[in-house]
Amino acid sequence: MKLEVIYEDNHLIAVNKPAGVVVQENDPHLKSLQEAVKLYIKEKYNKPGDVFLGVIHRLDTVVTGLVLFARTSKALVRMNEQFKQREVEKTYLALVRRKPNPMADTLVHYLKKDKKNNRTKLYHEERDGSKRAELYYEYITTANHCFLLKVKPKTGRPHQIRVQLARTITAIVGDVKYGQTKPNSDKSIYLHALGLKFVHPVKKEAITLHAPLPNYGNWKFFKDIEKNILEE
């Protein structure tokens, strides 16, 4: 697996995940991003034995973009706490086929994971076993019959962005699991983890990371504005 490394130091490493790759191994027949990054570190630094690499957060297999790993147990514990306390600012880009109305809004729902079918159920009121989910979306621009949304999830629930957009606007392009009728040719969906802002767990410096959009399909129409979106 060819890795696109976005950021690297003694404590953290961030990579730009392609579609079709699992973040953490859950099937022995599938190579995970975690294992690929461990191999990269082992070879680059000539490390003997097993390489420590902590999974801080995950992206769905069909989603592209920024994934941050911890290279030390101290960094893992501290970054986990930042995510738990919702101190990490996450920015995604999504493409849909319908212009949202309103153009910007905060969505609050209650989500419950259906593990058997690997789907998330959405409710407008709290149910047994459900968890509160909140995100902010904003319409940015249109190209090639696609509407670009900036999405900032406040919580981090399974399939959160996918199901909340599907139930309030329309399903993300290519996302047949949540309502689209036509899959993308590479089985991806047009959802990309564009950036993360957080405090470095050891250096205590403000860090902003940006994972460039894939250079294919409808993403190509938005490559010239992606960095400006993150800086806004």
Just list the catalytic residues.
60
CA trace torsion 94, 34, 73, 155 (10° rounding) = 20
Omega prior to 102 cis, within 30 of 0: yes
Distance (Å, whole) CA 82 – CA 86: 6
Question: How crowded is the C-beta side of 87, counted as CA atoms within 13 Å?
Answer: 13
Residue among 198, 216, 217 at smallest CA distance from 208? 198
CB of 184 closer than 8 Å to CB of 173: yes
Integer angstrom CA distances of residue 55 from 58, 86, 158, 168, 169: 7, 17, 16, 31, 32
Pair of tokens at residue 187: 């089985």
